[in-house]
Chains A and B, each alone.
Chain A
Amino acid sequence: MTPPSTLPALSAAVSRSRDLLEGRRRFIPVSMAGLVLVLVFVVGSLRYSGFLDPQVVLNLAVNNSFLIVLAVGVTFVILAGGIDLSTGAVLALSTMICAWLLREGWPPLLVIPAALLAGTAIGLAQGCIIHFYGVQPFIATLGGMFFARGLCFVISTESIPISDPLFSALAQTRVPVLPGGASLSLGAVIALAVAGAAAYVLHRTRFGRSVYAVGGSESSALLMGLAVGRVKVGVYTLSGFCAALGGVLYTLYIASGNGLHGLGMELDAIAAVVIGGTLLTGGFGYVLGSVIGVLTLGAIQAILVFEGTLSSWWTRIVAGTLLFAFILLQRALAPRAAR
């Protein structure tokens, strides 16, 4: 038997360290996501010279700016315990509205608000259907996805190119961020700003805290007197807005409108959110994680580009593996199963 004097001290120390871990448990998934991103960079830089070039790193944000914005919107929805499958289609609709209205001769400064308004309206409608009629988010947003995708092809079945000078100018605007001349596109700056604003809203406003509360326990949030309805409608509206904004950024990036843009991108966004450590059942997670998730997916893609010989579908395989790993991690860290 262990001498009685050391045993309590030992067990106290053990329980103290466990307490420390337990109290900070909610930060583990997002830290793991950051670790994975760093790991991908380490692997990349060991294999290929030039992988850590500042511009290569910044290009991760540039090439995925639209996905960052999408993922930020989806983060709100998932934190509140829902899901949004319509974001890819709303993005496509947004590119389509931009290209079509420009072709119709609308001034570009009206075109962009129009596209944003359309996406926001779709999100609002989805939110209302989910909240007021108690429809499953999966089904409601699946409907929204078909609706938005179908609307694209009502506008035009063909791709519509964009030649508007303001759009090209915006697309080519670079914002220098590092002394070496490395720069971000306007789209990437907007995306990061959106992520920052989202983090502020989530942590510093009553709406944001209510999102977490609703995701934790909707019935409790109701009894605590929180505006549950406003939160539920709000997150889908916000996600619709983000998808539309992602569409505008995508239009700048690719300079055309097409009903086939962003096929399956809603799933990429969800994957990025989950890889970033947000719990699919709601209530746990951070916007920072979602940004990390997008950058991780982008970095894996960059490795494949550097490799040159691998099929781009390997991105999907790696992303799939990561998803499994993160879901398992969350399973292991999940708060004690309800008794």
Chain B
Amino acid sequence: MKVKQHIKAVVLATALAASATVASAQDKEPIRFGLCFDLSKSYTFISPQVAQAAQDLAMYTNENGGIEGHPVEVIIRDHGNEPQRGVECYEQLKREGVFLFNFLSTPVTNAVLPRAMKDGNVLMQSFVGRGDAVDGEVFEWVFPVGPTYWQQAANDVAFIKGQMGGDLSKAKIGFIYLDYPFGQEPIEILKTLSEKEGFELELYPVPLPGSDQAGAWSKIRRDKPDYVISWLLAGGHVVASKEMRRNRFPIDRYLSVNWLNEVDIANIGAEEAKGILRGTNVAGGQEVPIVKTMLDTYYANGKGSGPESLVRDVYYNTGMAIYSAGFEAARIAITENGWPITPETMKNAFESIENFDGNGIMAPVTVTDKDHGGGGKTRVEQWNGETWVPLTDWSADYLDVVWDVIKHSSATFTVE
């Protein structure tokens, strides 16, 4: 009974007051989301899951009356992680009337960003692209709903502080990272916090693609940090787990960036990975109402938009979170300003998302015209051998420190 109630709540959340217009939903003009993803090169570890989540959510929304009566159309294209093809995809979909874009690739998002800013099209870029894009005053059209890497790192430090009894002055925190912009991003914030909180910070750079970490971990064994915060990707975690075993570093002191999923866990070994920590703004596991609904409604009948294995992956939840927020914004745009939705009304709608958590799929976000990230709340989840168990509540800490960095960085963006 409880599950059913949840299902109903989700339906209502996405299709409020739609009952009268259910019949005509399919006749009305669609709301179109452009997904130019890398489905064939570097980001294939996440993009299929996100695309599938978007398709499922669109299908579910449409079958339940659409968004205020308007069906959702999800257009998926491949750009192969090549900036040139991303631009081509953007230009093509733009001409077909799409103004809501997501590229899910840092190089491509960066390449398209100036165009989207100039044309005034909404760029959804959760988890990818420039971190300072959460500064809504500079990046008016960019909506990276979710935490920046800076905020994630700050929240990780706050979590460690909590674990160590509220005092970091005697703590030693290690930071292992891929030595390129993705991994280097949190260093500045960690250094600032290390001065502020008085903990000792040790940096362990790992060369791309992260398969050689032997040197870093033998240093970690000597340094004996209390916790290791990890900015590695995919296979990097697997290598790290092997090194942890070899160097007798407890895996429950390994706090990963949000890029750690069930595939990595399976590669480490579900039992072996027991205790591994992950900072995230997306609730993991299949017990989340919207994911459970998808499994029951579609995958139980073999009607999902793709293989069920992809649903049992935290990146599917990530996709759900991204598009729940997107659909919510579309809903607000129509209720506030009516049809047709334009880039402007969509932008305003995004900026009036308030305390929205997609029925438990993600940290509650409140997007404003100043903060396009929505508050940057995350929590730490632990793998218990079968699923993700949250250890803390959603929270965002050291906001002032993080925003200093954001403002400092975004100030260098504008020219002429």
Report if A and B associate in a common complex.
no
